[in-house]
Structure 1
């Protein structure tokens, strides 16, 4: 049995669980991203917040991702829980984010959340928007 390296451990996807009474979505989150979200929530001192992932019009290519903490659930929201981290997606964004994977990278060259979205037909040169 081999011990995973830091790089492979960070890319490990954790299994999402349905939240009773809510629709579900197909967005996945890596262990590293879930740990970062948990850390940020602890810093905020709020246990009532969820990570909301949304797609909005904007950017050079037409659509941009938004990630932010939200205490609300709206009609039609889809929700999954990953090791205590709840990820919520609004009903309009669900089709754009099907099978998308959220990761967190913390290296010398880059720090932040990334989204690998198989539904994106292309992106702009800066990488902030897609179509």
Structure 2
């Protein structure tokens, strides 16, 4: 894990990308021919449990962003979302039952039945 040049080595958002997630994100970026995007995780109000994750590629750099690099993939988090994802692990699963990015967040005290939001 390396930090971007714009932050101190001790500044971190506390989230991690597993090797599988970083590999999939890197493959998606290569497929699009883009190397200027960061994978952004944000927490927004919404969903039946109160908060909802947003995980997407972003070319913007927001004021106060915390960016940490995992295996060549930049993971960006805005300062408002950082406390909610402290200690969270972003993984990529590819099984018969499920395919996609998953977020294991120790801060989530509950979630809705559909798994789309948390509190």
User: Given the alignment of the two structures, is residue 38 of structure 1 paired with residue 23 of structure 2, yes or no?
Assistant: no
Alignment match, 2:118: 130
User: Given the alignment of the two structures, is residue 98 of structure 1 paired with residue 98 of structure 2, yes or no?
Assistant: no
RMSD: 0.8
Q: Matches of 1:100 and 1:17 in 2, distance apart?
A: 17
User: Given the alignment of the two structures, is residue 20 of structure 1 paired with residue 5 of structure 2, yes or no?
Assistant: yes
With normalisation by structure 1, the TM-score equals: 0.86
Alignment match, 2:61: 73
Where relative contact order (Cα < 8 A, 6+ residues apart) is larger, the structure is: 2
Moved over 3 A (4+): none
Q: Matches of 1:116 and 1:41 in 2, distance apart?
A: 23
Q: Matches of 2:108 and 2:64 in 1, distance apart?
A: 23
Q: Report the number of matched residues.
A: 116
What stretches of structure 1 of length at least 5 have no aligned partner? Answer: 1-15
1:9-60 per-residue CA deviation (whole Å, 9 max, x = no partner) reads xxxxxxx221121353110111000000001001111110000000001111
Q: Matches of 1:94 and 1:78 in 2, distance apart?
A: 8
With normalisation by structure 2, the TM-score equals: 0.94
User: Given the alignment of the two structures, is residue 121 of structure 1 paired with residue 109 of structure 2, yes or no?
Assistant: yes
What stretches of structure 2 of length at least 5 have no aligned partner? Answer: none
Aligned-pair CA distance for 1:121: 1.0
Mark the structure with the bigger radius of gyration. 1
